[in-house]
């Protein structure tokens, strides 16, 4: 299949759709669609690998029909010096359900933005962002859930591990319009910084125009628990093994939620 081919799904798919794109310097801009008809269901597993000097500007439009369910997971394995700007805009149909996850590592700079517009009632979206950032690299997650109709809900969860002099930005925004009564939203940003000059930044924003809602957010920035690390070492694990285990545990929750078995098999180690 050619790269960035539009996807139209109008059935309940029983196996995941796999897309694997190996990006080259020729891939500079891309525009494509994923559309799910009413009542359709699909899992799309999208692998992006990139050699050096890739600079991609990708725009993906996702639209979900009534009662459609989509799980869209993007996995990056990027070489240094590649830059990816991914912008996704999602239109949620009534009672539709979206799970959108991005797992990114490597790459000089990744800017991942998603805007979900809740135009009809009863829709729900879960956004997950997981990143491991090293060297002088940077990753920005920018998600905006825009609720304008009643009784929809969204969750945004970001977890990042930052090494060396890398920079991580979690920009998470929820807008709730006057008519959007009964909206429920949650935003969570978590960072673990592993070196003296790593940066972790979070801006969880709320813009609420009506009272009958429940919106909350949390952000934490911290370290691995010394107590937990000591416990593991006392059980015979080396310091490196203990840290790796704890970092894994930190990311586990997000990975489990966005990719339950058997999709889990598809995920590469982080």
Partner 1 sequence: MSNFEQFANQPYQYGFTSNIETDAFPPGLDESVIRAISEKKQEPAFMLEYRLKAFRHWQTMREPTWSAVDYPAIDFQAISYYAAPKKKEVLNSMDDVDPELKRTFEKLGIPLTEQKRLANVAMDAIFDSVSVATTFKEKLMEKGVIFCPISEAVQKYPDLVEQYLGSVVPHTDNFYAALNSAVFSDGSFVYVPKDTVCPMELSTYFRINTQDSGQFERTLIIADTNSSVSYLEGCTAPAFDTNQLHAAVVELVALDNAEIKYSTVQNWYAGDPKTGAGGIYNFVTKRGKCQGKRSKISWTQVETGSAITWKYPSCVLIGDESVGEFYSVALTNHKQQADTGTKMIHVGKNTTSTIISKGISVGESDNVYRGLVQVNASADGARNFTQCDSMLIGDQCSAKTFPDIQTRNPSATVEHEASTSKIGDDQLFYCQQRGMTMEQTINMIVGGFCQSVFKQLPMEFASEATQLLNLKLENSVG
CB of 181 to partner 1, least distance (A): 7
Check: CB of residue 2 under 8 Å from CB of residue 29.
no
Of 202, 242, 246, 258, the residue at the interface with partner 1 (CB under 8 A) is 202
CB of 10 to partner 1, least distance (A): 38
Please report whether residue 241 would count as binding partner 1 according to CB under 8 A: no
* Stretch binding partner 1 (CB under 8 A), from 5-13, 143-151, 203-211, 229-237: 203-211
CB of 216 to partner 1, least distance (A): 4
Please report whether residue 221 would count as binding partner 1 according to CB under 8 A: yes
Of 31, 197, 239, 264, the residue at the interface with partner 1 (CB under 8 A) is 197
Query: For 207, how many CA atoms within 13 A lie in the half-sphere containing its CB?
Result: 11
Check: CB of residue 123 under 8 Å from CB of residue 94.
yes
Counting residues that bind partner 1 (by CB under 8 A) gives 34
Check: CB of residue 73 under 8 Å from CB of residue 45.
yes
Of 206, 228, 267, 270, the residue at the interface with partner 1 (CB under 8 A) is 206
Q: How far apart are CA 135 and CA 94, in angstroms?
A: 43
**Strand duo 167-176 + 138-147: pairing:** parallel
138-51-80 Cα angle (round to 5): 30
Check: CB of residue 65 under 8 Å from CB of residue 39.
yes
Residue 53 or 195: the one with the smaller Cβ distance to partner 1 is: 195
Binding interface with partner 1 (CB under 8 A): 178, 181, 191, 193-223
């Amino acid at each position: 299949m050619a790269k960035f081919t539009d996807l139209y799904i109008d059935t309940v798919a029983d196996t995941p759709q796999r897309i694997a794109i190996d990006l080259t310097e020729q891939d500079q801009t891309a525009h494509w669609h994923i559309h799910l008809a009413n009542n359709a269901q699909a899992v799309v597993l999208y692998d992006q690998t990139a050699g050096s000097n890739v600079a991609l500007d990708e725009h993906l439009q996702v639209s979900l029909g009534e009662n459609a369910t989509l799980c869209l997971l993007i996995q990056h394995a990027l070489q240094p010096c590649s830059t990816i700007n991914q912008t996704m805009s999602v239109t949620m149909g009534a009672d539709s359900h979206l799970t959108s996850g991005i797992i990114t590592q490597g790459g000089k700079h990744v800017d991942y933005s998603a805007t979900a517009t809740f135009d009809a009632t009863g829709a729900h979206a879960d956004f997950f962002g997981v990143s491991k950032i090293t060297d002088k690299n940077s990753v920005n997650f920018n998600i905006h859930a825009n609720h304008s109709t009643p009784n929809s809900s969204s969750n945004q969860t970001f977890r990042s591990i930052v090494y060396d002099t890398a920079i991580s930005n979690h920009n998470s925004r929820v807008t709730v319009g006057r008519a959007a009564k009964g909206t429920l939203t949650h935003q969570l940003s978590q960072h673990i910084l592993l070196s003296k000059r790593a940066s972790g930044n979070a801006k969880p924003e709320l813009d609420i125009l009506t009272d009958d809602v429940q919106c909350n957010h949390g952000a934490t920035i911290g370290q691995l628990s010394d107590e937990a690390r000591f416990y593991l070492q006392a059980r015979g694990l080396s310091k490196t093994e203990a840290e790796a285990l704890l970092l894994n545990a930190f990311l586990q929750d997000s990975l489990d939620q966005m990719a339950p078995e058997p999709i889990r098999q598809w995920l590469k180690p982080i």
